[in-house]
């Protein structure tokens, strides 16, 4: 079993889901008392969030490189960034370590392709929905068309992530708002929806939506196990 290096804490609410899913999946695969060999570097999300909203991405990149290099030095065999948004600097991280990085968009794209879908709605932070680092990878590498919510809907999605989900606050009213946004994306032609923020599955799941839902947290965590056991 390879040792999984997890960059977490962004937020710890979803990082704890990674830890649970990874260990449950290892137990399902290997049985008995087996659990994952993993190391997590958990960041202080207050610092990360402040830098994000100040647009200080160079500073954030340096932090992410530091986290990844610490994990590599501690014995990790590959890196998993436990957040969609911080894949903005995935390429820089990958180019500055000597171990593989398992990209969340790649793992998600493989599941989308397995289902034969080609046009997906994307929910996430404003950074993920509006910038190209995530959408462009899906479009150019996998020929998956990505559509995003309207500006007002993006504001709702982003606000719930930072002001509720990252704080462990789960509201039924917010779930209903998300379902309304998803239904509008389906009306715009989406074949399914990517939950492109690792906190969103805390609020919305496949049971809430008729169209296929791609839970990036679960997909990424399970792909980490597959890579570790390969």
Angle, in degrees to the nearest 10, between helices 104-114 and 132-142: 40
| Digit-coded pLDDT (tens) for 116-126 | 999 999 999 99
**Known catalytic residue at 3:** no
Q: Are 14 and 196 in contact (CB under 8 A)?
A: no
Q: Measured on CA atoms in the order 46, 219, 129, 88, is the torsion positive or negative?
A: positive
The residue annotated as part of the active site, out of 128, 197, 198, 217, is: 197
Indicate the CATH number of 105-215 among 1.10.10.10, 1.10.3720.10, 2.40.50.100, 3.40.50.1860: 3.40.50.1860
**Known catalytic residue at 197:** yes
| Digit-coded pLDDT (tens) for 58-103 | 999 999 999 999 999 999 999 999 999 999 999 999 999 999 999 9
pTM metric for this prediction: 0.96
Q: Please name the fold of domain 4-103+219-229.
A: Rossmann fold (3.40.50)
The residue annotated as part of the active site, out of 25, 83, 85, 128, is: 83
Q: Please list, residue by residue across 86-117, b when 16 or more beta carbons sit within 10 angstroms of its beta carbon and e when fewer do.
A: bbbbbeebeeebebebbbbbbbbbebbeeeeb
SS (H, E, C) 119-133: EEEEECCHHHHHCHH
Residue range(s) in the chain whose domain bears CATH number 3.40.50.1860: 4-103+219-229, 105-215
For the ranges 66-70, 105-109, 208-212, the lowest mean pLDDT is seen at: 208-212
């Amino acid at each position: 079993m390879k040792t999984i290096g997890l960059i977490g804490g962004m937020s710890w609410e979803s990082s704890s889901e990674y830890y649970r899913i990874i260990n449950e999946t290892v137990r399902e695969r290997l049985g008995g008392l087996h659990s994952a060999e993993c190391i997590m570097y958990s960041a202080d999300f207050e610092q990360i969030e402040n830098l994000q909203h100040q647009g200080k991405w160079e500073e954030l990149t340096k932090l992410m490189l530091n986290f990844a290099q610490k994990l590599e030095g501690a014995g990790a065999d590959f890196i998993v960034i436990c957040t969609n948004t911080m894949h903005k600097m995935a390429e820089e991280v990958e180019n500055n370590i000597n171990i593989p990085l398992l990209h969340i968009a790649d793992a998600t794209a493989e599941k989308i392709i397995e289902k034969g879908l080609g046009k997906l709605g994307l929910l996430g932070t404003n950074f993920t929905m509006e910038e190209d680092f995530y959408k462009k990878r899906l479009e150019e590498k996998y020929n998956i068309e990505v559509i995003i919510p309207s500006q007002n809907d993006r504001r709702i999605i982003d606000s719930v992530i930072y002001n509720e989900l990252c704080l462990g606050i789960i509201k039924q009213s917010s779930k209903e708002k998300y379902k309304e946004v998803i239904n509008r994306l389906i009306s715009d032609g989406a074949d399914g929806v990517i939950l492109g923020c690792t906190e969103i599955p805390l609020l919305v799941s496949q049971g809430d939506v008729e169209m296929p839902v791609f839970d990036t947290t679960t997909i990424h965590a399970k792909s980490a196990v597959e890579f570790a056991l390969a």
